Structure 1
Amino acid sequence: MERLKIGVSACLFHPDPGRRAFASKTLHYLEQSVAHWIMAGGAMPVLIPSPTGDTARGDVTLADYAQWLDGVVMHGGADLWPGNYGEQPLRPEWAGDKLRDDYEIALLKAFVAAGKPAFGICRGLQLINVAFGGSLYQDISSQTASTLRHQDMQAYDRLFHGLHIEPQSRLSELLPQPGRVNSVHHQAIKALAQGFVVEARCPEGGIIEAIRHQGCARGGPWVAAVQWHPEFHKPEYGVIDDSALLTDFLSAAARQKT
């Protein structure tokens, strides 16, 4: 069978005079383990560049990628620009990356319009929620009652917490066993976007950990996302086996081809 082709949204390095390599250039990249996670399911990851910018040429659009590819993964990275959900940054370092937001929101909408599935990881979950009209806590520790640390840059992907999966959700079918997941974020969903349901929360503080569009089960948009990084999970970490997330997403991508 022909392998599925899965698009991956790009992280952006903007021009930075303090950077030693390509200091004046905009760089597009993805984290290696995201590509390897997709490849673990037998699919081919394809980095999707932004078609805009001061070096833009030609007439290739994000809609062209959405027609050619079978699905898209929105992956982790910088904070979102609060202006996209009607707020001002509470601190300068939480201003996010508006250029990446604009590119990824347009990318997500192109795939939804083409009837192709989209899966979000960490920032990807937050981006999906904002793109569909939801909002975020700019900082969990200062804006919520949660006392649990969700980000530790020293521990990074070795910081874990438990996971409560909502009964009767699709996620409860995919991940029937309780367990723990990694936590690499300081922002989180505040107001859930219309049309989505919560599929999992952190037991300590109730932070939303997984969402799914109601259209997934009704012939509408197939859009799902998790706040943790499944691509970072290794059995030796004592984490939940969430390999079924990838299988479910790729199965949706395969169905749209038939």
Structure 2
Amino acid sequence: APRPGATGTLRRTVQYLDPLMANWVMSRDVVVLMVPSVDRHGLLHRNNMRLRDYVHELDGLVLQGGADISPTCYGEEPLAPEWAGDRVRDDYEMELFSEFMEAGKPVLGVCRGLQLINVALGGTLYQDLPTQVGPQVMHRNREIYEANVHEIRIEPGSGLSRLFPNTTLTQVNSLHHQAVRKLGRDLVAEARSSADDVIEAIRLKGRTYVLGVQWHPEFHRPDDGQLLDPGPILEEFLAEARRRI
């Protein structure tokens, strides 16, 4: 979102596609596109180009990581100015998520993407885990970034337990300071942090495929025996997308 009083690109709305995320998805021979927002003050207007038009042509949605979700999206004020989030991006992605849901097309949320799914379905977030939960687990370490890892517990009988039938406890990277507090409508927890019980994965009950993971599977290497294999999650999502073609 634009920053008040800023100059250059900081005064503009900027969209991006993380190349690591794009390369991870494209590793299964699929085409990855970024869906642009429609600027109300630009040359295109919503009455002649709608997000629904994009959704009609696409097979699935990946909501990638990034800035905090604005607490105003779930009825709270920021506990600190730096946790105000990006309301412009939130509104755009929630509309996009809603359109994919209405079309019955699969959605995979990663880190911020999980949090957005939860808030879009009426859930709430911890604005800051160290402040509101405690220091039992270091969910974010800016100095080592994606090298920061911790243990999660996959819930018995969950969709993730079917993807990883021989795994209950495993390691994932961790780059977040916010997390699910109250689950949104029809969402179930699929994995939790072992030490503090923070929700690390969610899934929507029902026919539409919606999965969110709090870690970044695009950073995991398949040959890294320490971290959870990212392959089955991506393959399940893409199988759902192909099933609707």
Determine if the TM-score, normalized by the shorter chain, exceeds 0.5: yes
Please say if residues 146 and 204 of structure 1, whose CA atoms lie closer than 8 Å, have aligned partners that are also in contact: no
Q: Secondary structure at the match of 1:29?
A: coil
Question: 1:242 is matched with which residue: 218, 225, 230?
Answer: 230
User: Mind listing any 5+ residue stretches in structure 1 that lack a counterpart?
Assistant: 1-12
Match in the other structure for 1:4: none
Matching of residue 67 in structure 1 with residue 56 in structure 2: yes
Q: Report the RMSD for the aligned CA atoms in angstroms.
A: 1.7
| 1:192-245 Cα distance to aligned partner (Å, 9 max, x none) | 012011100010100100000011xxxx22111100000011234721112100
Instruction: Compute the displacement of 1:15 (Å).
Output: 5.7
Match in the other structure for 1:192: 183
Q: Secondary structure at the match of 2:153?
A: strand
What's the % identity of the aligned pairs? 43
- What does 1:168-207 correspond to in 2, within 5 Å? 168-176=157-165, 177=167, 178-207=169-198
C-alpha distance in 1 between matches for 2:115 and 2:49 = 27
Match in the other structure for 1:153: 142
Question: 1:221 is matched with which residue: 181, 188, 208?
Answer: 208
Please say if residues 218 and 230 of structure 2, whose CA atoms lie closer than 8 Å, have aligned partners that are also in contact: no
- What does 1:57-136 correspond to in 2, within 5 Å? 57-58=44-45, 59-136=48-125
Alpha carbons of 1:87 and 1:25: their partners in 2 closer, same or farther (altered >3 Å)? closer
Matching of residue 36 in structure 1 with residue 27 in structure 2: no
Match in the other structure for 1:251: 239
Matching of residue 208 in structure 1 with residue 199 in structure 2: yes
User: Mind listing any 5+ residue stretches in structure 2 that lack a counterpart?
Assistant: none
Q: Secondary structure at the match of 1:28?
A: coil
Please say if residues 72 and 117 of structure 1, whose CA atoms lie closer than 8 Å, have aligned partners that are also in contact: yes
Please say if residues 175 and 242 of structure 1, whose CA atoms lie closer than 8 Å, have aligned partners that are also in contact: no
List structure 1 runs of 4+ shifted beyond 3 angstroms: 13-19, 21-25
Alpha carbons of 1:14 and 1:53: their partners in 2 closer, same or farther (altered >3 Å)? farther
Match in the other structure for 2:34: 47
Matching of residue 162 in structure 1 with residue 139 in structure 2: no
Q: TM-score scaled to structure 2, two decimals?
A: 0.93
Alpha carbons of 1:149 and 1:23: their partners in 2 closer, same or farther (altered >3 Å)? closer
Alpha carbons of 1:27 and 1:190: their partners in 2 closer, same or farther (altered >3 Å)? same
Q: Secondary structure at the match of 1:179?
A: strand
Please say if residues 152 and 193 of structure 2, whose CA atoms lie closer than 8 Å, have aligned partners that are also in contact: yes
Q: Secondary structure at the match of 1:101?
A: helix
Instruction: Compute the displacement of 1:123 (Å).
Output: 0.2
Instruction: Compute the displacement of 1:147 (Å).
Output: 1.7
Please say if residues 189 and 203 of structure 2, whose CA atoms lie closer than 8 Å, have aligned partners that are also in contact: yes
